[in-house]
Amino acid sequence: MMSLNTKLVSKNAYFISKNRGRVTARVRVPGGNLETKYFPVIQEIAERYGNGTVHLSARQALTIPGIPAEKIPEVRRLMASYIQGVEVAAGVNITDVESGFPTPLPPNIIACIGSRDCALGNVDTAELAQKLERTFYPGGLMLKMGVAGCANDCVKVHMQDVGIIGMVEPLYDPARCLSCESCVKNCPSSALRMENYKVRRDGLSCLGCGECVLKCPTGAWSRGSPYYRVVIGGRTGRKHPRSARTFLEWINEEAVFRLIKNIFAYLEKYRNKNLPKEHLGYVIDRTGYGVFRQEVLQGINLGPKAKVARYINFGGYAYGKGVAYD
């Protein structure tokens, strides 16, 4: 068996298998959206070097198990065309595609199918995930991100360090309204009410989900500008799993990108450098929400509609504590 520099192998997006002498290749799929023309490359690597299978990871990346460690250089050469087409051609700064992925961090950005195919989708989630990919990858810090097209959050961004949820501002034309109350009855947040045979919307309660637009039979509601809700601090894991909480809502795309940039700077400043990686939530717990909020909002124009959480109670639980067993 060849001698492995496990640190270098890991940085090149491989991980050591429990099967001696074997590794598993991680293949990034930003936003979970991949053109089928790249399938033959994945198939060849899996059949020629792996065990003939491909696993779709929880982060919507592809993993190819069963690769002999000594075959990594050959796999890298095959993977070069994939990296060139999926990453470099999309604008990601990778200078040496022959050496494979330069780092597995930040982890693959996940996304639901979004407005490309889902009637409920308020934003093009894959496009946003790929924009985030070419802006922040490769990088040396762990930040698990996900993009959901609407408040249903099918992709579970509430389990991420940072979750981005598409919102839409519903626009109301009273001249087209028949007072049928279909929008009122179907509003999931009870943000709509009837008043003098017309609909009134409570902007503080509105989720920006667009359900009123979908349910209106006369087109009295239409889609206005897209916005985003940002949730932070979600995580799974052995220690203290918890759901993310809303930090910002009704912000535009530019503000989202500036926020992510500031979050990376915050992590670089406050993370525990003795650890190889640390979830954002643990860093927020250590510095306090007030410090986090002050640091990451610097220099961002949130816009007139934006709302910022004054305080966040993350909750969560610790394994083995507070549980009564029979």
Write out the residue range of the structural domain in which residue 95 sits: 6-99
Backbone angles phi, psi at 128, to 5 degrees: -65, -45
Instruction: Choose among 181, 177, 186, 9: nearest CA to 101.
Output: 9
Alpha-carbon distance of 254 to 248, in angstroms, equals 13
Residue 2 predicted with pLDDT over 60:
no
90 and 58: one domain? yes
Do the domain assignments include residue 129? yes
Q: What DSSP string describes 29-83?
A: -GGG---GGGHHHHHHHHHHTS-S--EE-TTS-EEEEEEEGGGHHHHHHHHHHHH
pLDDT tens figures, 39-48: 999 999 999 9
Domain boundary among 99, 125, 140: 99
Residue 80 predicted with pLDDT over 50:
yes
Residue 251 predicted with pLDDT over 70:
yes
* pLDDT reported for residue 317: 79
160 and 46: one domain? no
Query: What Cα–Cα distance (Å) separates residue 296 from each residue in 136, 228, 253?
Result: 16, 16, 16
Q: Is 254 helix (H, G, I), strand (E, B) or coil?
A: helix
Residue 64 predicted with pLDDT over 60:
yes
H or E element that contains 247: strand 245-251
Find residue 228's DSSP bridge partners: 166, 251
Band (pLDDT 50/70/90 cuts) for residue 9 is confident
120 and 92: one domain? no
The alpha carbon of residue 154 and the mean position of all alpha carbons in its chain are separated, in whole angstroms, by 12
Amino acid making up residue 227: Y
Do the domain assignments include residue 287? yes
Do the domain assignments include residue 185? no
14 and 75: one domain? yes
* pLDDT reported for residue 1: 47
Q: What is the pTM of this model?
A: 0.93
pLDDT tens figures, 186-195: 999 999 999 9
Is the Cβ–Cβ distance between 247 and 263 less than 8 Å? no
95 and 114: one domain? no
251 and 153: one domain? yes
Alpha-carbon distance of 126 to 273, in angstroms, equals 32
Alpha-carbon distance of 222 to 210, in angstroms, equals 8
Do the domain assignments include residue 207? no
Alpha-carbon distance of 185 to 201, in angstroms, equals 13
Instruction: Report the CATH number at residue 259.
Output: 3.30.413.10
pLDDT tens figures, 147-165: 999 999 999 999 999 999 9
Is the Cβ–Cβ distance between 228 and 209 less than 8 Å? no
- State how many domains the chain has: 2
Length of the chain, please? 326
10 and 87: one domain? yes
Q: What DSSP string describes 146-176?
A: EEESSTT-TT-GGGSSEEEEEEEEEEE-GGG
69 and 116: one domain? no
